[in-house]
Amino acid sequence: MIPTVIRLGLAYRDHSNHRECKAYEFTNTKGLNEDIICAAFDKIGNKDVIPYQYGLPCDLAPTLHPDEPTYEGDHCYIEITELSMRDDIKPHQHLVHCDISDIVDAINQDGSDEWFTLEKNIKAEKIAAAKKLLLGEGYMVSSPDNEIAVSITDEVKGDDIAVTLNTTSNLGLAFSFDGHSDCCSADNVGTPLYVEKYDGKLRVLVYANINSEEPSHVIDLSGARNSNRKKD
């Protein structure tokens, strides 16, 4: 059977054991047959699911992700209480959430594109918070993507600034500073300071003007060679 309407019943149970149920309908514009739809939902089984992960309606659960802050024991999990299909009626427009093919695709790849973006952002926030804590305690932080993070303390005002050294390229060292960037990059991720060896000379490129693509200063460090030291 190729259903024209797929109906899902969802339920949310809060920390007080209060259960709220709601029904939703889905179109089937791509003509998925009943077996394909059932096979996808069989992958979920009877376990509680995170609706946002699969593009399901999220209006019952108060949060989208398990790592989001909750209040009084609230959570992001729902139960699927009903899955039924009809091929002889049209969907009720006020109950339609989306096309069932979007849900099936998300289940088969273990998450929608929006879910993976949220996962990435939350992971980045957790890493940033952990990095900030470690830097505040005076630790040096390195990462698998060849970045080293340290904290520099202002000896006058006493506040700190996070500095990241990127060693990915063997052509030079790129420095990023919290609150600073360069003309061609997003805030906080640009590299206003770059050290390289070019044409036999070690030099520092400084991008002190965020509105210019060209370096404001190019400092030749040839004068700092050991061979240039004056002997007493």
pLDDT at res. 179: 93
118 assigned to some structural domain: no
Element (H, E) at 26: strand 19-27
Strand partners, 10: 22, 80
Strand partners, 151: 162
The overall pTM is greater than 0.95? no
| Same domain flag for 184 and 146 | yes
Specify the number of domains making up the chain: 2
| Same domain flag for 94 and 164 | no
Listed residues 91, 108, 125: the one ending a domain: 108
Q: How far apart are CA 60 and CA 210, in angstroms?
A: 45
Residue stretches of the chain with pLDDT short of 50: none
pLDDT at res. 137: 78
196 assigned to some structural domain: yes
pLDDT at res. 209: 97
CB 167 within 8 A of CB 143: no
| Same domain flag for 49 and 86 | yes
85 assigned to some structural domain: yes
199 assigned to some structural domain: yes
| Same domain flag for 90 and 156 | no
pLDDT at res. 12: 94
| Same domain flag for 36 and 96 | yes
79 assigned to some structural domain: yes
Contacts of 97 (CB under 8 A, 6+ apart): 24, 25, 26, 56, 57
| Same domain flag for 100 and 182 | no
pLDDT at res. 169: 82
Listed residues 71, 92, 108: the one ending a domain: 108
CB 112 within 8 A of CB 35: no
| Same domain flag for 64 and 150 | no
pLDDT at res. 125: 84
| Same domain flag for 18 and 93 | yes
| Same domain flag for 21 and 96 | yes
pLDDT at res. 140: 66
Contacts of 22 (CB under 8 A, 6+ apart): 9, 10, 11, 57, 59, 60
Work out the number of other CB atoms within 10 angstroms of the CB of residue 44: 15
Element (H, E) at 133: helix 113-136
SS percent in the chain: helix, strand, coil, step 5: 25, 30, 45
Burial code (b: 16+ CB inside 10 Å, e: under 16) for 204-224 equals: bbebeeeeeeebeeeeeeeee
Sheet with 217-220, edge to edge strand ranges = 141-143, 147-153, 160-166, 172-177, 193-198, 201-206, 217-220
Going by their DSSP bridges, the two strands 96-99 and 19-27 should be labelled as parallel
205 assigned to some structural domain: yes
197 assigned to some structural domain: yes
pLDDT at res. 67: 87
Q: How far apart are CA 132 and CA 161, in angstroms?
A: 10
> Strand, coil or helix: what is 217?
strand
pLDDT at res. 151: 87
* Residue 21 lies in domain: 5-108
| Same domain flag for 20 and 90 | yes
| Same domain flag for 98 and 12 | yes
Listed residues 108, 129, 153: the one ending a domain: 108
Q: How far apart are CA 147 and CA 162, in angstroms?
A: 12
132 assigned to some structural domain: no
